[in-house]
Chain A
């Protein structure tokens, strides 16, 4: 079956750095998305990776290793507003979008 694994919850301190991991086993691969979802709100797009390596976008970076079926989202200089769930989603060979359950990130002062 197809599977996306992410930690359920993580806690970090304001100003610090946190890495949220995502591992996937899917039938084929056509890219990986990271979305941010604040409580009670809709998911919003953060990044898309289809090639191996690191994509940097401001305080957020996303890394992909296709051979390992692995990605991570790196958040630097954490702010209280970064408290949210972070969803990993993979596009399989049929162009179906498979979603992880999300990682709830709690930022403490």
Chain B
């Protein structure tokens, strides 16, 4: 059984389109994350949700909007896609410790390779 799953695995689209990436975890974790990994391989955190509440919102364009319908799902919607959005997007999840929420290891999904043409 896949612990953290993402769909789609590959996404190719035109500039200006709107697209969504879905993420689900079946680990019973409290916290979910979205990361962007660009061609230089830097992993940059974008958002973090704990029990459906936003707890990290790094400086990303407001064209990116996360949605968490329940604590097992964290979807990422991107409006008006730009060439610079091309990257691999990883979803991750972890347990939460009070006051130490990132001390637990994160489990990553397989990634979504987004290519904007």
Measured CB to CB, the residues of A under 8 A from B are: 30-31, 33, 40-45, 48, 50, 85, 87, 89, 91, 95-97, 99, 101-102
Q: How many A-B residue pairs have CB under 8 A?
A: 47
Main secondary structure of the interface of B (DSSP, over half): loop
When distances are taken between beta carbons in the complex, the residues of chain A under 8 Å from B106 are: 45, 97
Identity of the chain B residue whose Cβ is nearest the Cβ of A92 in the assembled complex: B102
Interface string of B86-117 (1 = CB under 8 A from A): 00001000000001111101111111000000
Q: Which of B43, B45, B56 contacts A43 (CB 8 A)?
A: B43
Q: Which of A33, A42, A87 contacts B110 (CB 8 A)?
A: A42
**Is the pair A30, B103 in contact by a Cβ cutoff of 8 Å?**
yes
When distances are taken between beta carbons in the complex, the residues of chain A under 8 Å from B100 are: 30, 95
When distances are taken between beta carbons in the complex, the residues of chain B under 8 Å from A50 are: 103
When distances are taken between beta carbons in the complex, the residues of chain B under 8 Å from A30 are: 100, 102-103
**Is the pair A42, B101 in contact by a Cβ cutoff of 8 Å?**
no
Q: How far is the CA of A30 from the CA of B109 in the complex (A)?
A: 24
**Is the pair A85, B105 in contact by a Cβ cutoff of 8 Å?**
no
Identity of the chain A residue whose Cβ is nearest the Cβ of B99 in the assembled complex: A95
When distances are taken between beta carbons in the complex, the residues of chain A under 8 Å from B109 are: 42
Given contacts A41-B111, A42-B108, A96-B56, contact A101 B102 (CB under 8 A): no
